Amino acid sequence: MARHGGGRGWYGKLIGAALGVTMLATGASVWTAQAGATDDSTPEAAAPTAPGSAVKPVSAAIAHASEKGKRGINITIDDGPDPKWTPQVLDLLREYGVKATFCMVGTQAQAHPDLVKKVVAAGHRLCDHSVSHNTAMDKDSQAYQSRQILDAERMITKASGGVRPMYYRAPGGAFTPYSRKLAASRGMRPLGWNVDTKDFEQPGTDAIVATVERELPNGPTLLFHDAGGDRTQTVEALRRLLPRLKEQGYSFGFPVR
C-alpha cells in the first residue's frame, strides 16, 4: 500500500480556523499521550470508553480483505463528505445496489452532518480519516496523532447521530504502530487499500477505469475520493465500473474487521 497524493493540500486554508472550532466542539478533555511514550506503547488504558457506550477493540493489523471473500470488492470513498459530490456518489451506489465505506475527514463531517446521516441511512459504513487530513501526521507526536484520530471519531459520531466509525484510514497511509493500536482500541480497524485509482490527480475517466481493471488482481479494496476538487471523473468512472464489475461476477461489500 503506497501513499497516495493529496497532502495537506486543499485543507490548508480550512484547517487554521477549523481546528480551533474543533477543540471547542469536541470538548476540553481531549486525551493526550503520556510524555515519553514510544510507538510500542499501548493506548487502551489512556483512551477509556465513555460511560454507557460499548467499544469492542479490534485487530490493529491494516485491513485489505473483503467480507465478501475472494470475489468481493470494497469501494472506499475518501475525504468527504462534500455537498456537491457525495450526493452524486450516493445516487450511483443506490442505482447499482452497492454498499461502500466512506472515510470522512472530521471537519467535513462536522460541516455537513446531513450528508453523514444520509450515508448511514443508505447502509454504508463510516471510517475515521482524521480531523485535518495531514499526510505527514506519522511524523508528529503521539499527542497530535491521538487528537487527530479521537477528535475526528467524536465529530463523525456526533454528525451521524450516534453511529461510530468502524475503521480508521490514515491520511495518505501515514499509519504508525501507535496510531493503529489507538484506533483499534476504539473499535476502528485500520484500513488500507490495494488499488489507488489516482482519481485525486484527475488523470481522466479512462485512466481511472484502466487502473482499476489492471490492478484489481492486487486485492479488493479500491480507493476513490468524493471531495478535494472536481470529482466528475470519479463519478463517471464509478458509473462505468460498478455495472461492469458486477457483470464479471464480483460482489461489493465491506472491509474485514
Catalytic: 225?
yes
- Residue tagged 465505506 (cell numbers): 101
Is position 78 annotated as part of the catalytic site? yes
Give ∠ CA 134-139-140 in degrees, rounded to 5.
Answer: 75
- Cα separation, 149 vs 132, in Å, equals 10
Distance CA(229)–CA(10), nearest Å, equals 8
Residue among 124, 138, 225, 226 flagged as catalytic: 225
Catalytic residue among 4, 78, 112, 129: 78
The beta-strand segments (E) located in the chain are: 72-78, 101-104, 125-128, 167-168, 189-190, 195-196, 221-225, 251-253
Closest alpha carbon to 152 in 169, 135, 136: 169
Q: Which residues pair with 128 in a beta bridge?
A: 104, 168
Kindly list the distances between the CA atom of residue 101 and the CA atoms of 2, 15, 72, 257, in Å, as whole numbers in the listed order: 20, 24, 14, 12
Tell me the three cell numbers of residue 216: 484489481
Catalytic machinery residues = 78, 225
